[in-house]
Amino acid sequence: MRRVALFTLCLFALVVTACGSRSDTEASPDNAEVEGEGSSGEDDGGSDAAVGPDSTELGTIANPCSDDAPEGELAADVPGVTEDTIRIGVISDKENPAVPLPTVGIEESMKAFVEFCNEAGGINGRQIELSTYDSMIARTEEATQAACRDDLFALVGTGSVQDQQGVGTREECGLVEVGAYSATTSRTESENFFAPVPGLSATEFNSGPCQWIAEEYPEAVTSAMMVYTDLPAASVRGQQIVDGCEAEAGFDFVIEQAMAFGDTDFSSLVQEMKDEEVKYFTMVSATTETLALLEEIRTQGIELEVIDLGQQYYDDTLGASPAADGALVLTNTAPFSEAEENPVLGLYLQYMENVDAADRATTLGVQAFSAGLLWATAVDALGNDITREDLVTELEGITEWDGGGLHMPANPGEGIPISCFLYLELEGGEFTREHPEEDYDCDDAYLYTSDERFES
Amino acid sequence: MPDAPLLELRDVVVRFGGNVAVDRASMAIESGRITGLIGPNGAGKTTAFNVITGLQRPSSGLVLWDGTDISRVSAPRRARLGMGRTFQRLELFGSLSVAENVLLACELCRRQGGDARPPAITVGGEADRGAPGAVAETAALLEHLGLGDVAATRAEDLPTGLARLVELARALATRPRLLLLDEPASGLDESETARFAGLLEELAGRGLGVLLVEHDVPLVMRLASLVYVLDLGAVLAHGTPAEVQADQRVVDAYLGAAPVSEAP
Amino acid sequence: MEELFRYFVVFAILAAPTYAIAASGLVVTYTTTGIFNFAHGAIGMIIAFCYWQITSSAAWDLPVPIGLVLCLLVIAPALGWLLDRLLMRRLAGASTITTIVATIGLLFALVSLADLIWPSGTGVRSVEKLFAGSTFEVVGVTVEYHDAVALGAAIAVAVGLRALLFGTRLGTAMRAVVDSRELAALNGADPNRVSSVAWMLGCSLAGLAGILLAPDLTLTSIALTLVVIQAYAVAMVGRLRSLPLTFLGALILAEVNSLFDYIPLKVELSGTVDQAFSDLGSATPILMLLVVLVVMRQDKAALRPENIRFRVPRPSMSRVAATMGGLIAVCALISVTDIVSANTVDELGKGLALGIVILSLVLLTGWAGQVSLAQLALSGIAALAVWKMGPYGLLVGVVVTAVVGAVVALPALRMRSLYLALTTMAFALLLERVVYGNNTLFPEFLPFATGSASAERFALIESDEAFFVFLAVVFGAVALGLTAIRNGHFGRRLAAMKDSPSACATLGLDLTVTKLQVFALSAAIAGLGGGLLAMWKSSSVGLTDYALLEGGALAGLPLVLVAVIGGITSVTGALLGAVLLVGMPMFGRWYGALRTPMSLAPGLAGIGLAQNPDGVVRQVGEAIEEARARADVVAEPFETPETLGTDGRIGAADASRLDDELGLSWGR
């Protein structure tokens, strides 16, 4: 029987953006050998150079935070903006005692960003004030209403698993949003929404991962299997993957199965896998459900060539389970194991520690931090012409963005979905780089446009 | 069938699992008379009541009303024929006031066309006899039974004796042709009992058939013109009080235990 | 052929044991104490958490056998003993609504307790399977030892329970207590001891099911609690009485599940049909519960009168009018001034709309004595109408809701409260899974499933301020209307129906029509509330607002709890209930320190009100009344139980007679 559907909805959010690894993994010797370029184009300054509030450059981007006073008159009556301050808000699902959530850590990451930027002197000398809102899984609408009523200039770094809610309210009250990610296409397609790493789209699909898998395992992909939980966000996402991978990479999904959430009885499904001799396995579901199925697969002695957990977030649970050994995982942000070679990632972790939230560094958190930088870059460029309209115009002009090396290059200004990928492999409880050997595998041709719309 | 009794039970059997609660009992109850039904605890008196009123379906046997078989007729429909009853374990509508208990019965009686029958007691002046309002009839019933003072009291707050009178008033409000009373006098004191006896005689005098189950055997013997004795579900004996009291089986089984002092 | 054998024999037999164990625990406690334990799953959940705490390498890391012994033979029985002592014993002979509220309250309390002790944090807890990794093979299916152990445990439970009930004096006494504690006491059994044993046994069985289920599930408080709802359907096959039938029910459920697994995998179907199958497949336990309840004929025990002990106050029209006038005045004041923040007004508005749904419960449960867990789900129908048809869809919605409410009531007409509660619950779950939830059967409702539907308001009262006052006016009008009904003929009829169905029959009152009327009327009121809630929210309307279980934190069940806490017997109680419903979490959000007590509060209050189901308003009122003038103390008539022809002890023959009389079947 399907139970608290929301709980998984949360986890699907992840499908969009790789999320959530704890950053406690030390850089391994393996990684040290890899040239530590945070991202393409970072060739000045050396990879080990630590950056801080006073740096003029943050990896590949200019530091948007400083106390340089801008010229000109401040536009009157701009919500949230004064001569010395600028007020922003972050809405996220905070920790819930009943359910593990991928969005935990977003709020702390925004605090870390604000701490960093204010130490650097604010944006054009304006100190940032941060209001936080807990969307409590099912209260995104209420949190949005509260944010609309407060005197905010923008929403920055937001991330709620039920983000199809509250869209209309935000559009109506005119708040610009630079989110950490979007969990649904309703959010992606909403007005004045920007994300540092646009991922989800109703029509565009990044087929890069599929194509690489097809190249590496040409046999396996002809007997592929897709399982997704029978809930709106997951099934739409699963169907989109099936559609894209079959069209672009020659996959043949011999099993495409929707599974009731909380269904604990996998025996018939596993039997079917045996009969169909499945070689490639991918699943869109909560980590725990995926693990339970993987364990059953292992018990039943099925030899899989590829376990592709796609955009599943990689977390301790996944790492700890032998059933998931050898599984492939996608990530949008730089692996935490490469923090030493990636100065901006190091900066992020440093400031997470400064706000006493070192244990909450997650990839969604990294994206929130990047959202902060993205927003700050736009505001910095505005000088004293800070209005919401100008902010939108400025953000629309930022078509190349990698958060200074925090994540893969992306086009937030035009909201074009990413056409890069990075596969990690789970080996003995550790996530290690699988492909490419450095940076990200990028190609505009990876983007596949479907005739169908996959809306969530 | 002009001669058919108001109500007749013919060879009624009720089984609960392996137990026989009523064993081929036959009885006849006539209009205008008080019929007594006595027997020890567990003799099946209340079950017989339930069979008559339709709360319990007999395993076999017939229930006849004016000579017509009503064995398959539901309890509410039987009530609409003109059967009113009280319960041994009080079944008042506890959350309603005394007046509301009676008023509801009056209202239901009217909605079901029961007001074609005459009221159980005289209501108001002769002028509006036959068509008094439900409220007026309620007031008259309460007055008649001496319940005027407690009309506004919640029924669940009444002492047992008064509660039994309210049940009687409620049953009378349905303008019954047959009144079934299950232990109506228990909980009444001596003077209340005397008034109650007078009331029953008055009702019988107005042509009602009354079936009276009562532990107070002397009371039954005094009021009833015909008495049935149940034991282990079967009719042990029946006849006039004198006949019954003379019956050796009855004396052995039941009466012997309770000395009958006031028998006529 | 071998394939069919695999699906319908091997897989089914492997799936059935946990259902059977969970359900037999429910049956044991229900038959011996007459209490249907909605918290059965929550108890299993707590025990599973204890087991994790003891055995997990992330916690104390003690050996598995120690964990099993401690959990099943020490902790679970201790919990059972405690529950019996503190709660269940007091519920003996209570009305069904009271036991429902108390055990739902317990469910809440246990879930909050587990969240308190074992907060989810960012990680996930997992429980190892027994003999993890060890397997053997049967007809090409690799079977885990864990599943084999579960099967063995189920057989042991079956044999053990039978031996206990038929081979021991305690068991005989347990069967006797069902009928009447007093009766059993007269016959020498100690009903308290029997009840203790039953709860200890019930908790151990719940714990066993929890531990067996936990490895397949995320170890979160709610997931484990709710999975046991599957057991309701299984236990109902045995009418909550027969253990052999319960085990049969477990097999049936497993077979049905296998069927729903088999067809989409093996039979070529078009995409939508396939999807529809899988959607229905996810609702099999609910469908089964509904089917069993509807098909099952009324059993004899149902004819025993319900013991509903609410003291329903007599509402005075003028007093209610004054209160509602006050409410409207306060709301008007709030809406024209800034004394209350807009965010709070949002919540208050929701409270008013949900308050109307609670009012429907006052009518249905408080006054008519009928239990329904489907009111909120029903109210969603009107929300759908408002979303699809605009503000005037509200009228259509109300009418449709009334009709659906009456249809739901149809099979329930002759049911006693517990079955009614379960039927309405199953119906509510079905609505939220199959109609409101993600579904290929109703793809046009998808925005509703994801909570992104919207609702327009009437043009005249479009502003938040105006609509807020409008909500108060509607609440007041419904409250007044209900009061008028309560004081009129229909109200008297309802009270009569609640107080004594058999007396109703002897007054010629056919309850069928009255029941249908009250269900329809109450559903219509709920629909009004639901539609208004949608309009008040205006955007982001959807499933989570109208769901019984889905929605973050068990959304709809608190409505019932809170309604009862406020007082289900009066319209003012409903108002208080509404205030509490939105107020308690609001306080929790405002004051971090209050978050825990506020999340525990509904559960504890539900338990606490077990003995006084009249609610707060009534109790306060009564206390004042009593202080003013001590009413005459009226002694309750002492009812002597009818004696059985026994020699003072219940022997095997008597027990079997009793069983027959009560329609019990222990599988002789």
Q: Per the structure block, which two tokens stand in for A277? A: 């001799």
- Test B105 with C642 for CB contact under 8 angstroms: no
Q: Which residue has the tokens 């699988």?
A: A434
Find the mean pLDDT for residues B223-234: 91
Q: Which of A405, A407, A409, A414 is nearest to A367 (CA)?
A: A407
Find the mean pLDDT for residues A220-228: 93
CA triple C376-C443-C412, angle to 5 deg: 35
Residue C517's pLDDT is 94
Chains within contact range of chain B (3+ C-beta pairs < 8 Å): C
Chain C interface, best mutation among B41, B93, B97, B153, by max C CB count within 10 A? B93
Which residue from C minimizes the CA distance to B178? C506
Residue C292's pLDDT is 86
Q: H or E element: which one contains B180?
A: strand B178-182
- Test C508 with B114 for CB contact under 8 angstroms: yes
Query: Closest Cα of chain B to C504: distance in Å?
Result: 8
Q: What are phi and psi of A19, to 5 degrees?
A: -135, 175
Q: H or E element: which one contains B12?
A: strand B7-16
With a CB cutoff of 8 Å and minimum separation 6, the contacts of B149 are: none
Q: Per the structure block, which two tokens stand in for A306? A: 């590829």
pLDDT confidence bin for A305, thresholds 50/70/90: very high
Dihedral (C-alpha) C99, C101, C102, C104: value to the nearest 10 degrees?
110
DSSP 8-state code for residue A27: P
Find the mean pLDDT for residues A346-357: 95
Residue A10 has pLDDT above 60, yes or no: no
Contact at 8 Å (CB) between A261 and C282?
yes
- Residues 168-207 of chain C with CB under 8 A from chain A are none
**In chain B, what residues touch C503 (CB-CB under 8 Å)?**
87, 91-93, 170
Residue C468's pLDDT is 96
Residue C626's pLDDT is 60
DSSP state letters, A110-140: HHHHHHHHHHTT-BTTBEEEEEEEE-TTT-H
Q: H or E element: which one contains B10?
A: strand B7-16
CB of A74 less than 8 A from some CB of C:
no
Find the mean pLDDT for residues A349-378: 94
- Residues 335-354 of chain A with CB under 8 A from chain C are none
- Test A288 with C124 for CB contact under 8 angstroms: yes
More confident residue, A11 or B55: B55
Contact at 8 Å (CB) between C147 and A125?
no
Q: Per the structure block, which two tokens stand in for C338? A: 């800034």
Query: Closest Cα of chain C to A452: distance in Å?
Result: 15
Residue C59's pLDDT is 84
Residue A331 has pLDDT above 80, yes or no: yes
Query: Closest Cα of chain C to B202: distance in Å?
Result: 22
- Test C346 with A142 for CB contact under 8 angstroms: yes
Task: Choose the closest CB to C508 out of B89, B108, B159.
Answer: B108
Which residue from A minimizes the CA distance to C121? A100
Task: State how far the Cα of A73 lies from the Cα of C290, in Å rounded to an integer.
Answer: 69
**Across A70-74, A142-146, B82-86, B107-111, least confident range:** A70-74
Task: State how far the Cα of C491 lies from the Cα of C498, in Å rounded to an integer.
Answer: 11
Residue C512's pLDDT is 86
Residue A24's pLDDT is 39
Which residue from C minimizes the CA distance to B176? C507
Residue C178's pLDDT is 58
Share of chain A above pLDDT 90, in %: 57
Residue B228 has pLDDT above 80, yes or no: yes
- Residues 153-192 of chain B with CB under 8 A from chain C are 154, 156-160, 170-171, 174, 187
Q: Per the structure block, which two tokens stand in for C53? A: 């705490």
pLDDT (tens digit per residue) in A139-196: 899 999 999 999 999 999 999 988 888 999 999 999 999 999 998 999 999 999 999 9
Which residue from A minimizes the CA distance to C258? A268
**In chain A, what residues touch C19 (CB-CB under 8 Å)?**
none
**In chain C, what residues touch A134 (CB-CB under 8 Å)?**
589
Q: Per the structure block, which two tokens stand in for A254? A: 């011999």
pLDDT (tens digit per residue) in A73-99: 888 789 999 999 999 999 999 887 777
A277 conformational bin, left if phi > 0, alpha if psi -120 to 50, beta if neither = left
Chain C interface, best mutation among B14, B91, B97, by max C CB count within 10 A? B91
Name the pairing type of β-strands B68-69 and B60-65. antiparallel
pLDDT (tens digit per residue) in B171-224: 999 999 999 999 988 888 888 888 889 999 999 999 999 999 988 888 999 999
Residue C182's pLDDT is 57
Residue A455 has pLDDT above 80, yes or no: yes
Residue type, C342: A
Task: State how far the Cα of B199 lies from the Cα of C540, in Å rounded to an integer.
Answer: 68
**In chain C, what residues touch B186 (CB-CB under 8 Å)?**
none
Task: Choose the closest CB to B91 out of C502, C511, C631.
Answer: C502
Q: Which residue has the tokens 């908790």?
A: C203
- Test A4 with C449 for CB contact under 8 angstroms: no
Residue B5 has pLDDT above 80, yes or no: yes
Check contact B-A (3+ Cβ pairs < 8 Å): no
**In chain B, what residues touch C492 (CB-CB under 8 Å)?**
93, 96, 100, 103-104, 107
Chain C interface, best mutation among A4, A298, A317, A321, by max C CB count within 10 A? A4
Check contact C-A (3+ Cβ pairs < 8 Å): yes
- Test B53 with C505 for CB contact under 8 angstroms: yes
- Test B157 with C634 for CB contact under 8 angstroms: yes
**In chain C, what residues touch B74 (CB-CB under 8 Å)?**
505, 510
Residue C310's pLDDT is 58
More confident residue, A313 or C46: C46
Name the pairing type of β-strands C135-138 and B68-69. unpaired
More confident residue, B93 or C125: B93
Name the pairing type of β-strands A61-62 and A57-58. antiparallel
CB of C144 less than 8 A from some CB of A:
yes
CB of B89 less than 8 A from some CB of C:
yes
Residue A296's pLDDT is 84
CB of B20 less than 8 A from some CB of C:
no
Q: Which of C241, C364, C358 is nearest to C308 (CA)?
A: C364
The residues of chain C scoring below 70 in pLDDT are: 1, 93, 121-124, 176-189, 218, 269-272, 297-313, 438-440, 549-556, 609-668
DSSP state letters, chain B: -TT--SEEEEEEEEEETTEEEEEEEEEEE-TTSEEEEE--TTSSHHHHHHHHHTSS--SEEEEEETTEE-TTS-HHHHHHHHEEE--SS----TTSBHHHHHHHHHHHHHHTTGGGSPPSS--SSSTTTT---HHHHHHHHHHHTT-GGGTTSBGGGS-HHHHHHHHHHHHHHT--SEEEEESTTTT--HHHHHHHHHHHHHHHHTT-EEEEE-S-HHHHHHH-SEEEEEETTEEEEEESHHHHHH-HHHHHHTGGGS---S--
- Test A134 with C589 for CB contact under 8 angstroms: yes
Which residue from B minimizes the CA distance to C631? B157
Task: State how far the Cα of C438 lies from the Cα of C444, in Å rounded to an integer.
Answer: 10
- Test C223 with A7 for CB contact under 8 angstroms: yes
Helices B45-53, B75-82: inter-axial angle, 10-degree rounding: 80
pLDDT confidence bin for A22, thresholds 50/70/90: very low
pLDDT (tens digit per residue) in A393-452: 999 999 999 999 999 999 999 999 999 999 999 888 888 899 899 899 999 999 999 988
The 3-state DSSP class for residue C433 equals: helix
Residue B263 has pLDDT above 70, yes or no: no
Contact at 8 Å (CB) between C276 and C441?
yes
Q: Per the structure block, which two tokens stand in for C531? A: 């539609």
CB of A365 less than 8 A from some CB of C:
no
Q: Per the structure block, which two tokens stand in for B62? A: 């017939």
Query: Closest Cα of chain C to A327: distance in Å?
Result: 19
Q: Per the structure block, which two tokens stand in for C631? A: 């009413």
Q: H or E element: which one contains B178?
A: strand B178-182
Residue B61's pLDDT is 93
pLDDT confidence bin for A262, thresholds 50/70/90: low
pLDDT confidence bin for B28, thresholds 50/70/90: very high
pTM: 0.85
pLDDT (tens digit per residue) in A32-60: 333 333 333 334 444 456 889 999 999 99
CB of C216 less than 8 A from some CB of A:
yes
Query: Closest Cα of chain C to B111: distance in Å?
Result: 10
Mean pLDDT, rounded, of chain A: 85
